[in-house]
Structure 1
Amino acid sequence: MTTQSTQTAATEPQHGAEIIVPLNRLKASDKNARKTPHSPATIEAFAASIKAKGVLQPPVVEIERNGEGAPTGAYLVTIGEGRRLGLRLLAKRKAIKRTYPVRCIVDAENDAHEISLDENVTRADMHPADQFEAFKRLAEERGYGAEEIGARFGVSAHVVRQRLRLGAVAPALMQTYREGGLTLEQLMAFAVSEDHDRQEQVLGMIGPHTPAYAIRRVMTETKVRADDPRARFVGVEAYAEAGGAVLRDLFTEDGGGWLEDASLLDRLVIGKLDGLAEEVREREGWKWAEAYPDFPHGLGLGRVYPEKVERSPEDEAAMTALAEEYDRLISDNDSAEVLPPEVDARLEEIDAALQAFGDDHAYRPDDLARSGVIVTLSHDGVARFERGLVRLEDALPEPEDEAPEQGREDAGDAEATAPATSGVASGAAEADEGLAPLSEKLVLDLTAHRTAGLRDALAADASMALTVVVHAFALQVFYPPYDQPTVLQLRLSLTGLERFAPGVCEGPAGRRIADRSEAWATRLPNEARDLWAVLVDMSGSDLLDLLAHCASLGVNAVRDPHDRRPGAWAQAETLATALGLDMTGTWTATAASYFGRVSKARVMEAVEEGVSKTDADRLAGMKKADMAEAAETLIAGKGWLPPLLRTAPPQVADAGEEAASPNEDAYPFAAE
């Protein structure tokens, strides 16, 4: 092999010779096996490395020849195209001259394409773990910061910080990563914290396929995310000023982090809320003000509301004149980019004058004197003020023999004054005198069927369903939690009826409900995130029908002795009457459904009501099982219902008044 010697490009060099070639005489070779262009980041890294350390590895070149085989004076780079591009980038930036001398090795014997391929195939990349630890060593031994290391290797300081963090993980994690027991994503999840003990503890807890997000969650489970409402409310800067440490995640795009001292953060939240509560109490004159991280729903607080401020005719006229002048000035100067100083000054005067009149709505002084404010933290990280809350001991006493005052916190008492039963239901109660009461199990069974019937009927009346929903919403928004006389389980607690009455879902109402659910399921998207787009394009009538179906599934009129809700049971009667519920198409009295589960006296009563007294008397001497079967035969097709399943007729309107349907003209948009 030819001995290497330093030559110039003036004479034709021999194979293996080390020569100096001006940069502008180095060209890309079409025999280079790497056809995919180098990325800008790779070229940047070459340029940074060359600028800091020079060309560490000489490019391998071959002599360029013309069509006649004579040297052209240029050289084709067979190995080292990335270095050539890095040098050209430095020349473009005027960091070096275009004629910068480049040390090269001449290959005049081997096939240029083969050695280019060999260079890329036979080399082994450094394991990332070695790279991470090498960066860490540079920082520790040479004292280089992230910016300087990045400049020497052509990467950003942020990337360097990531590699330094990865290089600083617990040795056990790094070894597991080298052996293939951890992926890079998993290692980055561990590196979110620099606590080696915690890293090794979590390593022993996870399996080989644990996703990175799960590891990151476990690593930070005792910390608070920087986008947590508490952190946004207090502010990360204020938390840090109070001595709290912040853990930054170097491996997410937004650089999110965690606040490590949750107890300190909670103290700061309460302190800030307390300050806001005291401030609003003094400024607005409430009897009391308290701060809570979350609203204390269990306190059973009542509520008062602001009322429209009554103003004198003179004040009304003055406010109207000021408002009209304000609008006129704005209109007259609408085209002006900058308001004239005299106009701007006058607008400020008008605004101050209007504010001097106070708000249009205000709390009465006596309400302020007995109610207060609760300040809580909302889900979006801002303080929420709940005003006008009344403690139980501050509530006004109920008038004993007078109708309750309407329009304030006692407005909901109108519901409470409604009779618990009416019409046929009341008559049935009177008729039960002298008879043994129904068993709890039968009451559950019958009212479960009644509930299925109510659900089915409500689903068929979208306007009434809307009324039911609005009624329940209003009860929860405007009335105390102990006064909720509604049959609707507004949170849509979908109570299964099968445990009360096996087979109810296979009955007529149950099947109609199931068919309706299936029909809607085929129309709605499979993914919840896609539902909104579908509903936005849905017609008003379809939306109401869907509302009716969903609301109907929240109805619970089951008379469970372990869940006594007399207000709801009374409302079930009211709703059944309003819907015109007819249970004869939903439930049939048979030996299994009713007659075999009640006393003989009740069987005979049913036959007497549904058929005749004569037929009832014929059953008197029968055994219970025979009587139940005979009653089923006699009652069949008669439409008889036990009192619990009967619907009271609507009250007859007074003479001269038109008895309109409860749904008539109530919702003109329902037919859209």
Structure 2
Amino acid sequence: MNDQSNIPVTLEEIPFADLHISDLNPRKVVNDTSIATLAENIRAYGLIQNLAGFRDETGVGVVVGGRRYRALALLQDNERFQIVTVKMAPDQATAEYWATSENAQREALHPADEIQDFGAMEKRGATVADIATAYGATEAHVYRRLALAALPCPVIDALRSGDISLSNAAAFTISDDEKLALEVLENVRGHGESDHRIKKMLKPDAVKNSDRRAVYVGVEAYIEAGGRTSSDLFADEVLIDDPAILDELFGKKLADASGALIAEGWKWAEPINDSYIGWYQIDEMKLARIYAENGDLTEEQGQEYDALAELAEGDVLDEEGQAKLTALQLILDGTFTDEQKAHAGVLVYVDRSGKVQCETGLIRGTDKNAAIDAGVLTKSNHAGSTGTKSPISNKLRIDLDRIATGARQHAVLRDPDLLLALLAFQLSGKSGYTSVFGLHKDEVANTPTTEMAGYKLDERLTKTTQPAKFGSDMGRVFRAYKAKGPAFVMEEITRHLAKLLTVDEDLGAVIDKAVETDIRENFTPTAANFFGRVGGPYLVNLWCELLDLTEDHPTATTFAKLTKSEKAEKMEALFRDPELRKAHSITEAQAKRIDTWLPEGMA
């Protein structure tokens, strides 16, 4: 049937109970929420457009108006909708044509037309709810369209002509300055500018309420201080229009937080404007770090901690459990003593999420000597940057590093549980790019080129394991190895993990504190391993430093006249020979200085 111009139009009043959705109706998928919204529209304004149907054996099948039919089904408690006017098709061919044409030819309003109609309805007195019902839209959609309706007409015209997109038009709603809006419109018309770019042109200084400063200060506090805001309905955010006021409030609140920390006993607290403080910043500020005194959990608390941690790993820990886990973690992390706080300070900053964070336990350069004297800070043996060549050669530096590594490995043998925890730490990936163990084919060197002169380690770190013979049955070898029992296996794990230990300075400090690493327990400077490998002037200065001598003191001048090898031997005797110490009337303080002295750069 091609000629549809003379189709006879018949309207019939049909009881709703006699209607059904025809198989010819192409709409099979519907949204229940939109049907309910349409029902409210029909309840308020009536059925504006009739259904179209075709009579079949079971009644009248609806071929056009499937959504309207479903909406009417929700209104059958109202007599007004129990009889429905239906436009009837004279034959099946016409019904098929109507069913296809109705959906294929439907065209939604252009957004610009809808926006202006929303605005016109509001001016006529329609409420947001009225407009939402009339259009079958949500009230949130109506509010956004009304915000667009308030834009200057040239902006809406540009939307209608396609010079800007709908989201571009939405970006203009953040500004009440019509003159500026029209200037920006001319700059962006037809250029495909981003919404973000348009917003920055309209309000270059505005800050979002999601900015860390706004989150920390609070929008309400900002408004109370006289700050202005504007809303971006389309991005569901508030814009801070007076960033200077926000910065002032942010600085004051951060300063107050710093003051509160000083009131808690810290020597100083410095507010930092950055959103993150890394090790490099602490290093640039020449700050030393100390750590809180470790806390211990009771056996019962330890069991509870393990159970809660397991739940947390599985993301099934509730809020109460998280609070308990946090409290137990605080105990484990330990607390700073009053004496530590009296020498140290805090860097205070606000992170990207708007939460205040603290880098605690930091000691300024001017406070380091006092902290060392108080026993709060261990004296650093690293060479300062003096601009002069270090007396420690590179080869000697490597040997000293190996000795320090060996001493740490030696000390960590005392705590197998710590080693296993460190292993889990690295294997789990929680250590990130920080290496904990030398888990590769290369051995972690802990023996200097001078071998064991003046240097001793636990024999577990020096003994070797005889490998299985070439061609051996590895299954049989392993079964025999395993049969030695759990105690043997744990001893082997402890021994080999200790030999593989190699960490960075920060983690090394934590380990050293836990196991009380003492390099001098393993290493005594000798002519072979140190004194014979540095220059004569260095030895003269060290001799005077250790014995509290001036350069012109007879003991100092006598030492200076010795050959380099004689100086080295004399220094070794000072460290190892009680008779020499007695001959030089070494005081208790000098003896302690000699017994704890280490070359620069050894941790």
Q: What is the TM-score of this pair, normalised by structure 2?
A: 0.53
2:357 is aligned to 384
2:390 is aligned to 420
Kept after mapping to 2: 8 A contact 1:185/1:212: yes
Q: Following superposition of structure 1 onto structure 2, how do residues 10-29 of structure 1 map, counting pairs within 5 Å?
A: 15-29=8-22
Q: Aligned equivalents of 1:168 and 1:656: distance in 2?
A: 87
1:316 is aligned to none
1:175 is aligned to 157
**1:17–1:542: structure 2 CA closer, same or farther, 3 Å change rule?**
same
Matched, 1:159 2:132: no
2:64 is aligned to 79
Question: What value does the CA root-mean-square deviation take over the aligned residues?
Answer: 5.3
**1:425–1:117: structure 2 CA closer, same or farther, 3 Å change rule?**
closer
AA of the residue aligned to 1:176: A
Residue 87 of structure 1 and its aligned partner are, at CA, apart by 0.9
**1:268–1:128: structure 2 CA closer, same or farther, 3 Å change rule?**
same
Structure 1 counterpart SS, 2:108? coil
AA of the residue aligned to 1:293: N
Cα shift readout 1:533-576 (whole Å, capped 9, x = no counterpart): 99799999999799x9xxxxxxxxxxxxxxxxxxxxxxxxxxxx
**1:226–1:99: structure 2 CA closer, same or farther, 3 Å change rule?**
closer
Q: Which of these residues, 245, 257, 260, is aligned with residue 279 of structure 1?
A: 260
Q: Aligned equivalents of 2:362 and 2:150: distance in 1?
A: 55
**1:391–1:188: structure 2 CA closer, same or farther, 3 Å change rule?**
same
2:36 is aligned to 44
Structure 1 counterpart SS, 2:127? coil
Residue 377 of structure 1 and its aligned partner are, at CA, apart by 2.0
Q: Following superposition of structure 1 onto structure 2, how do residues 228-239 of structure 1 map, counting pairs within 5 Å?
A: 228-239=211-222
Q: Aligned equivalents of 1:99 and 1:235: distance in 2?
A: 53
Residue 54 of structure 1 and its aligned partner are, at CA, apart by 0.4
AA of the residue aligned to 1:83: R
Structure 2 counterpart SS, 1:277? helix
Matched, 1:411 2:380: yes
Q: Percent identity?
A: 23
Q: Aligned equivalents of 1:58 and 1:307: distance in 2?
A: 79
AA of the residue aligned to 2:450: V
Q: Following superposition of structure 1 onto structure 2, how do residues 509-524 of structure 1 map, counting pairs within 5 Å?
A: none
Residue 154 of structure 1 and its aligned partner are, at CA, apart by 2.7
**1:199–1:412: structure 2 CA closer, same or farther, 3 Å change rule?**
farther
Residue 301 of structure 1 and its aligned partner are, at CA, apart by 5.5
Residue 227 of structure 1 and its aligned partner are, at CA, apart by 2.2
Cα shift readout 1:107-144 (whole Å, capped 9, x = no counterpart): 43771222333334445432121111111222232141
1:267 is aligned to 248
Matched, 1:104 2:86: yes
Q: Aligned equivalents of 1:308 and 1:42: distance in 2?
A: 63
Structure 2 counterpart SS, 1:364? helix
AA of the residue aligned to 2:390: A
Kept after mapping to 1: 8 A contact 2:348/2:357: yes
Q: Which of these residues, 159, 167, 191, is aligned with residue 208 of structure 1?
A: 191
Kept after mapping to 1: 8 A contact 2:19/2:61: yes
Matched, 1:364 2:339: yes
AA of the residue aligned to 1:381: G
Which moves more between the two structures, 79-88 or 209-218? 209-218
Cα shift readout 1:436-462 (whole Å, capped 9, x = no counterpart): xxxxxxxxxxxxxxxxxxxxxx9xxxx
Kept after mapping to 2: 8 A contact 1:652/1:659: no
Q: Aligned equivalents of 1:424 and 1:45: distance in 2?
A: 81
AA of the residue aligned to 2:240: L
Matched, 1:652 2:441: no
Cα shift readout 1:595-641 (whole Å, capped 9, x = no counterpart): xxxxxxxxxxxxxxxxxxxxxxxxxxxxxxxxxxxxxxxxxxxxxxx
Residue 15 of structure 1 and its aligned partner are, at CA, apart by 4.6
Residue 266 of structure 1 and its aligned partner are, at CA, apart by 1.5
Matched, 1:293 2:273: yes
Q: Aligned equivalents of 1:324 and 1:85: distance in 2?
A: 67
Structure 1 counterpart SS, 2:74? helix
Q: Which of these residues, 16, 23, 28, is aligned with residue 30 of structure 1?
A: 23
Kept after mapping to 2: 8 A contact 1:306/1:363: no
Q: Following superposition of structure 1 onto structure 2, how do residues 285-364 of structure 1 map, counting pairs within 5 Å?
A: 286=267, 288-294=268-274, 300=285, 302-303=287-288, 305=290, 361-364=336-339
Cα shift readout 1:411-453 (whole Å, capped 9, x = no counterpart): 1545679962556999xxxxxxxxxxxxxxxxxxxxxxxxxxx
Q: Aligned equivalents of 1:140 and 1:54: distance in 2?
A: 23
Q: Which of these residues, 198, 203, 210, is aligned with residue 227 of structure 1?
A: 210
**1:308–1:135: structure 2 CA closer, same or farther, 3 Å change rule?**
closer
Kept after mapping to 2: 8 A contact 1:133/1:167: yes
Q: Aligned equivalents of 2:233 and 2:242: distance in 1?
A: 19
Kept after mapping to 2: 8 A contact 1:150/1:160: yes
Matched, 1:61 2:29: no
Residue 75 of structure 1 and its aligned partner are, at CA, apart by 2.8
Q: Aligned equivalents of 1:267 and 1:537: distance in 2?
A: 39
Residue 242 of structure 1 and its aligned partner are, at CA, apart by 3.6
Kept after mapping to 2: 8 A contact 1:20/1:102: yes
Structure 2 counterpart SS, 1:90? coil
Q: Aligned equivalents of 2:374 and 2:432: distance in 1?
A: 42
Cα shift readout 1:346-405 (whole Å, capped 9, x = no counterpart): xxxxx9xxx9xxx8641428x72x665443323332223345555666664899xxxx99
Structure 2 counterpart SS, 1:61? strand
Structure 1 counterpart SS, 2:61? strand
AA of the residue aligned to 1:383: V
**1:125–1:161: structure 2 CA closer, same or farther, 3 Å change rule?**
same
Cα shift readout 1:81-115 (whole Å, capped 9, x = no counterpart): 32222211223xx4x24961223333437712223
AA of the residue aligned to 1:362: T
Structure 2 counterpart SS, 1:251? coil
Kept after mapping to 2: 8 A contact 1:20/1:101: yes
Unaligned runs of 5+ in 2: 1-6, 306-326, 409-426, 463-495, 503-603
Residue 240 of structure 1 and its aligned partner are, at CA, apart by 3.7
Q: Aligned equivalents of 2:434 and 2:347: distance in 1?
A: 38
AA of the residue aligned to 1:86: A
Residue 18 of structure 1 and its aligned partner are, at CA, apart by 3.6
2:507 is aligned to none
AA of the residue aligned to 2:46: G
Residue 197 of structure 1 and its aligned partner are, at CA, apart by 4.4
Q: Aligned equivalents of 1:124 and 1:329: distance in 2?
A: 67
Residue 179 of structure 1 and its aligned partner are, at CA, apart by 1.2
Instruction: Count the aligned residue pairs.
Output: 402
Residue 408 of structure 1 and its aligned partner are, at CA, apart by 2.2
Kept after mapping to 2: 8 A contact 1:289/1:373: yes
Kept after mapping to 1: 8 A contact 2:258/2:269: yes
Q: Which of these residues, 71, 90, 98, is aligned with residue 75 of structure 2?
A: 90
